Amino acid sequence: MIDTPGRNLAAPSAPVMPLRKRDADYVFYELTRSICPECRRVIDAQILLRHNKVYMRKRCPEHGTFEALVYGDAEAYTSAAKFNKPGRSRSSSPRRS
Ligand SMILES: [Zn+2]
């Protein structure tokens, strides 16, 4: 009879998959500000693009993370944002030909 200490050990070599991997299906788009729906304090929020939809993820230090769909069409959202950006007016360089 061979007494093998540790034969009941679960294989420790099995890699623990980081849960983060599941979060990788979105693209961070921009940082904005929002309010916590619980306490109404102003908190940082991230605009994320996922599956061609636009989500806002905000995080309150007290109430945790909230995520909400803000726009159903990420392509329209980003192209609209591009044209709405202030300070990109080309009128300051008049064309003379
Ligand atoms: Zn809160």
Provide the β-strand partners of residue 54.
49, 71
Give the pLDDT confidence score for residue 2 in this predicted structure: 62
Measure 39 CA to ligand 1 centroid, in angstroms. Answer: 4
| Predicted TM-score (pTM) of this structure | 0.58
- Give the residue from 54, 52, 59 showing the smallest Cα distance to 33: 59
Measure 76 CA to ligand 1 centroid, in angstroms. Answer: 31
Continuous segment of H or E residues that includes residue 58: strand 53-60
Measure 18 CA to ligand 1 centroid, in angstroms. Answer: 28
49 and 69 Cβ atoms separated by less than 8 Å: no
Secondary structure class of 38 (helix, strand, coil): coil
Domain positions in the chain? 27-82
Share the mean pLDDT of the chain: 79
Asked if the model's pLDDT at residue 31 lies above 90, the reply is yes
